[in-house]
C-alpha cells in the first residue's frame, strides 16, 4: 500500500545559515512554523529583495513506523525557493536541488531508522543565484524564499507508479477514447512481474477498467500502457468542466491517481483556437503567484481563490502562469472552474550558460511531467519569456515538450517581430497601442498593457479611465484580428526589483491591486460576460465636483453588459448613454455620456445609473455626491479555515459611501482586534490605501472560533466570525495524490 502523509505542520525554522541544524540536539533557536512558509514576512511595498535573500534551515521530526520496514520512504517537495539540500539524521541525501518552481523527491529509505523518530532537515538557499533560472540578469518579479509549498512523506512498495500521462481522443464522437501511459519503477535488485490495472471513475463510480501484465527488470522502469475505447463520458467544457478520476493500481497495492478531462484544444491555421471543435477567442490575463506580506507562500485556499477571481470576477477564459510553473492547487482549480492555462518555464529575458540551460530543461521536463494531465492547460511556453532567439536551446526545449506531451501545442513568448518560429504558435508580447501585424498564421498575443499604463487604485480619475480605454482599444483589435486571442498584463499588481515598478517595488500593472481588490478597469473585463451570467454595471468615476481637470464631470464612462444604460443626476434622468461604436467587436463595448450639465462651483447631486436588458430594468447603481465615508466594510473570503498553522483567508477592508462605493481618497487607519486561535498577517493597525486594503487572517494550530472587529477613529465595521477546523481532521486525512 502507498501512504502519502502531509507533513506541513511542526517544522522548526531558523532564518540563519546554521549547518548544525541538521544534527539532533544542536543548541539552536528555532521558530515553530507550518508550511507553506515564507522565510520573511514583508510589508506590501517599499522593501528590497535583500531582506529575504538569505540561507535558512528548516527541520522536522519524522516518525517512520516499524511496520513500514521493507517499504521505500520518500519526501516529496512541491516547491522550495530556490535551492535545497536535504539531510536525514545529519547525512546529506543526494545533491542540491536547483529550481524553485517545480517539485522534487528524495528517496530517504537508506537514511532512516525504522521504528524511530528521524530528523529531516533542509538547507534552503533563497538568494538570487545566477546559476538558476530566472536569475543571472534583471528580472521584473520577485521570487521570495522558503519552503513555500506542501511537503509529503510517502511510503511505497519497491515497485511503484512514478508518473503517468493521459491522452484523450475521439473527442467529438459520442464514444471517446483514453490512452494511459504510466511509468512503473522497480527499485528492487530482482525482476518483478505483476498486474497493473487502470480504473476510470466518475466521482466514486467505476466506469471503465483494464488489467495488464507488466514485467520489470531489476532497478529499471517500464511503461504500463492502457487503451480505453468506447467511453461514454462527458466533455470538459468551460461552462461544465467535467472531471473524471483515473487510477493506476499495481498488484502490490501501490496506486497513483490523477484528474482527467475529455477535451480537444486546437490552434488551427485559420487563426482561430478551437475548444472541443468550437471556435473560442482567448481572452485572458497574466498572473504572478505572489501576494502581499507572504511572497509566494500562499496556501491552497488563496491559490484556488485566484483561479475563481480570474474566471468569475474578471471573466477571463485563459490565464498565463507568467513566468514559471505555478501552484498545483491553482492549476487543479483551473481544471475545476474551467479556466484555460498557458504554462511556461521560469525565466525573464536572460539566457544563461550551458549549465543554466540544463537546469532550465530539467524544469521544463518537471513542469510537463507534473502537469500534463490538466485539461485546463492548452499550451506549453518553452522559451524564456522575452529572450533573444537561440536556435539550439529552443529547438531542444520544443522537441522535449513534444516528446513528453505530443498532445499540446508549444509557444515561446517573445517580444519582437521576425523571430525564428520553432514552436507551434507564434506567441508575442505586443505593447504597442496598435497591435503589430501577426508574424504567423498561428499567432497569440501573450501580453499587452502593463508598463505602458501603470495605474493605481487611487490615481486621478482621468488616468483610471484612460487605463480602461487603453485595454478596451487592445481588446477591440484582439477581437477583430484573425489571431487566437490576447492575454493582458496583468491580473494583479505585483512586487518587483528596483529597476522596475513605481519606486515602491510594485508594478501597478494589474486589473486588480496587489490585494486582489478590483480597480475600475476590472469592470471592463467583467462586462464581457453575458448579462444572463451576471449583470455588470459600473460607472468609471469617483463622482467628485472638482477632481477632474477644469471642474468637469463628463464625459462619464460606464462599463456594462446591459443593452441600455440611463444616467440620472440629482434624480433627473438625462437619458441613455451611448455605446462606444469604435469598440464594436467587443461583446459589450463601454457606454459614454458625453455631456452632463454643471461645472465648477455649481450645484452637485448624486449619480444614479440604470441598467436595462431587453427593456427590463436589471440593475441600478448610485454614487453619493458628498465624499464622506459613512461605512467601514469588513469582509472575509471564507467562513472556515483549517487549524494547521498556515491556512489563511483574506480580510478586506473598505471605507465606502452609503451605497457601498469605495472612497478613493480615504487613508484612515484601521485597528483590528482578533480573539481566538488566529493571527493577522499584515500590519495592525493597517492604513487604507485609496479607501481599501486587505490583510490575511491566519489559523494557529488550535481549533475554535475567531472573532474580528475592525474600526477607524470614526467608523466601526460589523463584527465578523470565522471558524477554524480541528487539525486532527486534516492530519488523519490520508492524502492520495
Ligand atoms: C513585459 C514582461 C513582463 C512585465 C511586463 C510589464 O515585457 O514580459 O514580465 O515586465 O513587460 O509591462
> Which ligand 1 atom minimizes the distance to the CA of 500?
10
C-alpha cell read off for 327? 501552484
For residues 407-435, give the mean pLDDT: 97
Instruction: Please calculate the CA angle 116-80-161 and round it to the nearest 5 degrees.
Output: 65
pLDDT over 80 at 733, yes or no: no
Residue 277 CA to ligand 1 center (angstroms) comes to 32
pLDDT over 70 at 128, yes or no: yes
**Closest listed residue to residue 734, CA positions, set 140, 10, 138, 153:** 153
> 724 has which bridge partners?
641, 704
Q: How far apart are CA 723 and CA 299, in angstroms?
A: 17
> Which ligand 1 atom minimizes the distance to the CA of 450?
12
C-alpha dist (Å) from residue 567 to 195, 339, 531, 717? 71, 35, 19, 31
Residue 250 CA to ligand 1 center (angstroms) comes to 47
Look up 386 and say whether it is catalytic. Answer: yes
Residues 6+ apart with CB under 8 A from 427: 342, 379, 381, 411, 412, 413, 414, 443, 444, 446
> Which ligand 1 atom minimizes the distance to the CA of 349?
8
> Which ligand 1 atom minimizes the distance to the CA of 413?
8
pLDDT over 60 at 197, yes or no: yes
- The catalytically annotated residue of 49, 247, 343, 447 is 447
**Sorting pLDDT into bands at 50, 70 and 90, what band is 373?**
very high
Q: Which of 413, 447, 511 to mutate to test the pocket of ligand 1 (most atoms within 8 A of CB)?
A: 447
Q: How far apart are CA 499 and CA 138, in angstroms?
A: 8
- The catalytically annotated residue of 386, 423, 461, 608 is 386
> Which ligand 1 atom minimizes the distance to the CA of 451?
12
Residues 6+ apart with CB under 8 A from 733: 6
> Which ligand 1 atom minimizes the distance to the CA of 496?
10
Q: How far apart are CA 183 and CA 163, in angstroms?
A: 5
C-alpha cell read off for 166? 493521459
Mean pLDDT score of the chain: 96
Look up 403 and say whether it is catalytic. Answer: no
Q: To which residue does cell 465578523 refer?
A: 720
Residue 554 CA to ligand 1 center (angstroms) comes to 33
Task: Tally Cβ neighbours within 10 Å of residue 29.
Answer: 8
> Which ligand 1 atom minimizes the distance to the CA of 386?
8
pLDDT of residue 728: 64
pLDDT over 90 at 734, yes or no: no
Residues 6+ apart with CB under 8 A from 556: 539, 540, 541, 567, 577, 592, 593, 596, 607
Alpha carbon nearest to ligand 1 atom 4, residue: 140
Residue 79 CA to ligand 1 center (angstroms) comes to 24
Asked if 28 contacts 22 with a C-beta cutoff of 8 angstroms, the reply is: no
pLDDT of residue 145: 98
Asked if 412 contacts 383 with a C-beta cutoff of 8 angstroms, the reply is: yes
Residue 307 CA to ligand 1 center (angstroms) comes to 21
Q: How far apart are CA 648 and CA 640, in angstroms?
A: 9
> Which ligand 1 atom minimizes the distance to the CA of 452?
12
Q: Which of 383, 489, 511 to mutate to test the pocket of ligand 1 (most atoms within 8 A of CB)?
A: 489
Q: What backbone phi and psi angles, to 5 degrees, belong to 31?
A: -105, 140
pLDDT of residue 736: 34
Q: To which residue does cell 466533455 refer?
A: 235
pLDDT over 60 at 159, yes or no: yes
Residues 6+ apart with CB under 8 A from 77: 84, 97, 103, 104, 105, 106, 122, 147, 149, 151
What does the CA dihedral 106, 107, 113, 115 come to, rounded to 10 degrees? 100
Residue 344 CA to ligand 1 center (angstroms) comes to 14
DSSP string across 697-727: EEE-SS-EEEEEEEE-SS-BPPPEEEEEE-H
Q: How far apart are CA 569 and CA 662, in angstroms?
A: 19
Alpha carbon nearest to ligand 1 atom 5, residue: 450
Q: To which residue does cell 471503465 refer?
A: 208
Instruction: Please calculate the CA angle 288-292-297 and round it to the nearest 5 degrees.
Output: 70
DSSP string across 540-592: S----SSSSGGG---SEEEEESSSEEEEEETTEEEEEPEE-GGGTTSSS--EE
Q: To which residue does cell 502490490 refer?
A: 252
For residues 64-81, give the mean pLDDT: 97
Residue 458 CA to ligand 1 center (angstroms) comes to 22
pLDDT over 50 at 686, yes or no: yes
Q: Tell me, what DSSP letter sits at residue 235?
A: -
**Closest listed residue to residue 593, CA positions, set 547, 560, 617:** 560
Asked if 200 contacts 192 with a C-beta cutoff of 8 angstroms, the reply is: no
Residues with CB under 6 A from ligand 1: 140, 385-386, 415, 429, 447, 450-451, 489, 509
706-732: pLDDT as tens digits: 999 999 999 999 999 999 999 764 454
Q: To which residue does cell 443593452 refer?
A: 563
pLDDT of residue 735: 37
Residue 626 CA to ligand 1 center (angstroms) comes to 39
For residues 236-264, give the mean pLDDT: 97
Q: How far apart are CA 515 and CA 467, in angstroms?
A: 19
pLDDT above 90: percentage of residues in the chain? 95
Q: Which of 134, 285, 450 to mutate to test the pocket of ligand 1 (most atoms within 8 A of CB)?
A: 450
pLDDT of residue 599: 85
Residue 388 CA to ligand 1 center (angstroms) comes to 15
Instruction: Please calculate the CA angle 505-508-509 and round it to the nearest 5 degrees.
Output: 130
Strands (E), 289-370: 318-321, 340-344
C-alpha cell read off for 333? 482549480
Residues 6+ apart with CB under 8 A from 510: 490, 491, 492, 493, 494, 519
Instruction: Please calculate the CA angle 36-300-681 and round it to the nearest 5 degrees.
Output: 55
DSSP string across 597-635: ---TTS----EEEEEEETTEEEEEEEE-SS----EEEEE
287-331: pLDDT as tens digits: 999 999 999 999 999 999 999 999 999 999 999 999 999 999 999
Q: Which of 133, 139, 140 to mutate to test the pocket of ligand 1 (most atoms within 8 A of CB)?
A: 140
Q: How far apart are CA 364 and CA 358, in angstroms?
A: 10
pLDDT of residue 737: 33
Q: How far apart are CA 616 and CA 151, in angstroms?
A: 54
Residue 287 CA to ligand 1 center (angstroms) comes to 11
C-alpha cell read off for 200? 476510470
Buried b vs exposed e over 285-311: b needs ≥16 C-beta within 10 Å?
A: bbbbbbbbbbbbbbbbbbbbbbbbbbb
C-alpha cell read off for 129? 543565484
C-alpha dist (Å) from residue 105 to 96, 376, 469? 12, 25, 48
pLDDT of residue 598: 87
pLDDT of residue 526: 98
| Biggest CA pair distance of the chain | 92
For residues 110-121, give the mean pLDDT: 97
Residue 492 CA to ligand 1 center (angstroms) comes to 13
Q: Which of 287, 324, 451 to mutate to test the pocket of ligand 1 (most atoms within 8 A of CB)?
A: 451
- State which H helix or E strand residue 59 sits in: strand 55-64
Taking phi over 0 as left and psi of -120 to 50 as alpha, with beta for the rest, 570 belongs to left
Q: How far apart are CA 655 and CA 640, in angstroms?
A: 25
Residue 412 CA to ligand 1 center (angstroms) comes to 15
Q: Tell me, what DSSP letter sits at residue 594?
A: -
Q: How far apart are CA 304 and CA 149, in angstroms?
A: 14
Q: To which residue does cell 455631456 refer?
A: 595
> Which ligand 1 atom minimizes the distance to the CA of 415?
7
Q: To which residue does cell 520518500 refer?
A: 74
Alpha carbon nearest to ligand 1 atom 9, residue: 140
Residue 616 CA to ligand 1 center (angstroms) comes to 43
Alpha carbon nearest to ligand 1 atom 3, residue: 140
DSSP string across 412-472: EEESSTT----SSEEEEE---SSPPPPSSSSEEEEE-BGGGS---TTS-HHHHHHHHHHHH
For residues 494-509, give the mean pLDDT: 97
Q: How far apart are CA 86 and CA 117, in angstroms?
A: 17
Q: How far is CA 640 from the centre of its chain?
A: 21
> Which ligand 1 atom minimizes the distance to the CA of 431?
12
**Sorting pLDDT into bands at 50, 70 and 90, what band is 367?**
very high
Q: How far apart are CA 126 and CA 16, in angstroms?
A: 11
255-291: pLDDT as tens digits: 999 999 999 999 999 999 999 999 999 999 999 999 9
For residues 637-642, give the mean pLDDT: 97
Q: How far apart are CA 120 and CA 489, in angstroms?
A: 41
Residues 6+ apart with CB under 8 A from 729: 642
Alpha carbon nearest to ligand 1 atom 10, residue: 140
Amino acid at each position: 500500500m502507498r501512504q502519502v502523509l502531509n507533513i506541513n505542520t511542526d517544522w522548526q525554522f531558523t532564518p540563519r545559515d546554521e549547518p548544525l541544524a541538521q544534527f539532533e540536539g544542536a543548541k539552536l533557536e528555532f521558530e515553530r512554523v507550518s508550511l507553506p512558509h515564507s522565510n520573511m514576512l514583508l510589508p506590501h511595498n517599499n522593501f528590497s529583495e535583500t531582506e529575504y535573500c538569505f540561507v535558512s534551515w528548516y527541520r522536522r521530526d519524522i516518525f517512520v513506523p516499524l511496520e513500514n520496514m521493507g517499504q521505500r520512504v520518500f519526501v516529496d517537495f512541491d516547491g522550495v525557493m530556490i535551492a535545497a539540500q536535504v539531510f536525514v539524521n545529519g547525512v546529506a541525501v543526494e545533491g542540491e536541488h536547483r529550481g524553485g518552481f517545480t517539485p522534487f523527491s528524495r528517496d530517504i529509505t537508506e537514511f532512516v531508522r525504522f521504528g524511530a523518530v528521524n530528523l529531516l532537515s533542509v538547507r534552503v538557499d533563497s538568494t538570487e543565484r545566477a546559476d538558476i533560472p530566472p536569475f543571472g540578469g534583471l528580472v521584473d518579479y520577485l521570487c521570495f524564499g522558503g519552503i513555500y509549498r506542501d511537503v509529503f512523506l510517502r511510503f511505497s512498495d519497491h515497485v511503484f507508479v512514478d508518473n503517468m500521462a493521459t491522452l484523450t481522443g475521439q473527442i467529438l464522437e459520442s464514444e471517446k477514447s483514453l490512452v494511459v501511459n504510466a511509468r512503473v519503477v522497480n527499485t528492487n535488485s530482482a525482476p518483478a512481474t505483476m498486474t497493473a490495472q487502470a480504473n476510470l471513475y466518475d466521482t466514486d463510480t467505476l466506469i471503465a477498467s483494464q488489467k495488464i501484465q507488466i514485467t520489470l527488470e531489476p532497478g529499471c522502469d517500464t511503461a504500463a500502457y492502457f487503451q480505453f475505447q468506447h467511453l461514454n463520458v462527458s466533455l470538459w467544457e468551460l461552462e461544465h468542466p467535467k472531471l473524471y478520476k483515473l487510477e493506476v493500481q499495481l498488484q502490490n497495492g501501490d496506486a497513483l491517481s490523477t484528474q482527467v478531462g475529455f477535451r480537444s484544444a486546437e490552434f488551427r491555421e485559420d487563426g482561430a483556437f478551437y475548444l472541443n471543435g468550437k471556435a473560442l477567442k482567448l481572452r485572458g490575463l497574466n498572473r504572478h503567484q505572489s501576494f502581499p506580506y507572504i511572497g509566494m507562500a500562499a496556501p491552497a485556499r488563496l491559490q484556488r481563490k485566484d483561479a475563481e477571481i480570474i474566471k468569475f470576477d474578471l471573466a477571463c477564459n485563459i490565464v498565463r502562469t507568467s513566468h514559471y510553473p505555478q501552484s498545483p492547487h491553482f492549476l487543479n482549480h483551473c481544471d475545476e472552474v474551467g479556466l484555460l492555462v498557458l504554462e511556461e518555464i521560469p525565466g525573464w529575458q536572460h539566457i544563461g550558460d550551458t549549465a543554466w540551460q540544463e537546469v532550465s530543461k530539467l524544469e521544463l521536463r518537471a513542469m510537463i511531467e507534473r502537469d500534463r494531465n490538466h485539461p485546463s492547460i492548452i499550451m506549453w511556453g518553452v522559451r524564456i519569456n522575452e529572450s533573444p532567439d537561440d536556435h539550439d536551446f529552443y529547438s531542444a526545449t520544443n522537441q522535449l515538450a513534444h516528446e513528453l506531451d505530443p498532445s499540446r501545442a508549444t509557444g515561446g513568448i517573445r517580444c519582437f517581430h521576425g523571430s525564428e518560429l520553432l514552436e507551434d504558435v507564434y506567441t508575442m508580447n505586443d505593447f504597442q497601442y496598435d497591435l503589430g501585424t501577426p508574424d504567423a498564421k498561428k499567432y497569440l498575443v501573450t501580453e499587452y498593457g502593463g508598463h505602458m499604463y501603470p495605474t493605481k487604485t487611487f490615481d486621478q480619475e482621468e488616468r483610471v479611465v484612460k487605463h480602461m480605454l487603453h485595454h478596451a482599444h487592445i481588446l477591440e483589435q484582439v477581437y477583430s484580428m484573425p489571431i487566437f486571442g490576447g492575454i493582458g498584463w496583468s491580473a494583479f499588481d505585483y512586487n518587483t526589483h528596483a529597476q522596475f515598478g513605481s519606486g515602491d517595488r510594485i508594478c501597478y500593472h494589474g486589473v486588480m491591486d496587489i490585494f486582489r481588490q478590483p480597480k475600475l478597469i476590472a469592470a471592463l473585463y467583467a462586462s464581457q460576460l453575458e448579462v444572463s451570467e451576471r449583470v455588470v454595471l459600473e460607472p468609471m468615476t469617483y463622482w467628485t465636483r472638482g477632481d477632474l481637470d477644469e471642474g468637469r464631470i463628463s464625459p462619464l464612462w460606464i462599463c456594462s453588459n446591459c443593452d441600455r444604460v440611463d444616467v440620472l443626476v440629482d434624480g433627473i434622468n438625462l437619458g441613455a448613454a451611448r455605446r462606444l461604436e469604435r469598440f464594436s467587436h467587443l461583446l459589450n463595448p463601454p457606454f459614454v455620456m458625453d455631456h452632463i450639465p454643471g461645472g465648477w462651483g455649481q450645484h452637485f447631486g448624486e449619480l444614479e445609473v440604470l441598467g436595462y436588458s431587453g427593456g427590463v430594468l436589471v440593475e441600478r447603481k448610485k454614487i453619493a455626491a458628498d465624499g464622506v465615508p459613512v461605512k467601514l466594510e469588513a469582509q472575509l473570503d471564507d467562513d472556515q479555515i483549517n487549524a494547521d498553522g498556515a491556512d489563511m483567508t483574506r480580510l478586506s477592508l473598505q471605507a465606502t459611501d452609503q451605497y457601498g462605493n469605495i472612497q478613493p481618497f480615504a487613508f484612515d487607519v484601521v485597528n483590528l482586534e482578533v480573539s481566538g486561535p488566529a493571527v493577522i498577517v499584515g500590519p495592525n493597525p493597517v492604513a487604507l490605501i485609496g479607501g481599501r486594503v486587505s490583510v490575511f487572517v491566519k489559523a494557529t494550530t488550535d481549533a475554535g472560533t475567531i472573532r474580528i472587529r475592525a474600526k477607524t477613529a470614526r467608523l466601526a465595521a460589523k463584527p465578523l466570525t470565522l471558524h477554524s477546523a480541528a487539525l486532527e481532521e486534516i492530519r488523519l486525512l490520508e492524502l492520495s495524490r
